[in-house]
Amino acid sequence: MGRAHGCTVTLMNTNQIAHVASLVGEPARTAMLLALMDGRALTAHELAAVGNIGAATASRHLALLIEAGLLAMERQGRHRYHRLASPEVARVLEGITQLAAQRTPARRTVTGPRDAALRMARTCYDHLAGRLGVVITQHLLDHGAIAFDGEAGHVTDRLAGVLKGLGVNAAALPGAEGKRAHCRPCLDWSERRAHVAGRLGALICSQCLDSGWLVRRKDSRALEVTPKGAVALRNGLGHARWNALTQDA
């Protein structure tokens, strides 16, 4: 009896996995999900344009994604805004992106400005990715502010001082309530090294944006470093690390 029950549970799990995979695997839905990877909420009209589909088709796709728990929808006035349901959804999408990138043949040709911008700095849900995210993370690791252990991470008592040197206020770091990790590594699909995610990653990203060090590029996950941000980040990271970052760009 127990064995039969176990088979039933396994079948239910595999069916659910297959269902979610099929939802993510449809090209228009994939495009819409990736468009939400910068953490913002978009309307059905905006997402239809991203998926290059009609409004009615987009509405059906979005309903399926909401039903599966991949998207959350909120109403504001006459509009309905859609966002990724959780950081866990973003983490799965980033992992799929990483796997897809590994299957892409390596080429030595120079890609266009848009790709270069995404490689330099971009949002990964609500934290920083790209070379800038990786460099900031390495700075935190080198100064003993954080430590990674496999897929886990933790902060140390040095965090506040190191963040202060970067111009980030550690006092604004949210508490440990809820399921979200305080600090964890997220493998960067373009750099193939870890950038920091979790509450700490979100704090660094939001303060960089709020301080005007970074600005969002329209219709892209790419972030642009402002002149003000270049000065602040160069002072925080050190001239040698900043010069290495910008020379590789």
Q: What is the CATH number of domain 2-85?
A: 1.10.10.10
Contact 130, 121 (CB under 8 A): yes
**For residue range 148-195, what is the model confidence (pLDDT) as tens digits?**
988 889 999 999 999 999 999 988 887 655 567 789 998 887 887 899
**For residue range 4-51, what is the model confidence (pLDDT) as tens digits?**
555 554 655 788 888 888 899 899 999 999 888 877 788 899 999 989
Q: Which runs of consecutive H residues, i.e. helices, occur in 77-210?
A: 87-102, 113-120, 130-142, 159-166, 198-210
Tokens encoding 224: 């642009």
**For residue range 94-147, what is the model confidence (pLDDT) as tens digits?**
888 878 766 655 444 443 334 788 889 999 889 999 999 999 999 999 999 999
d(CA 162, CA 136): 11
Contact 219, 143 (CB under 8 A): no
The domain locations on the chain are 2-85, 88-104+112-247
């100064």: which residue's tokens?
143
User: What is the pLDDT, as a whole number, of residue 109?
Assistant: 40
The model's pTM is 0.68
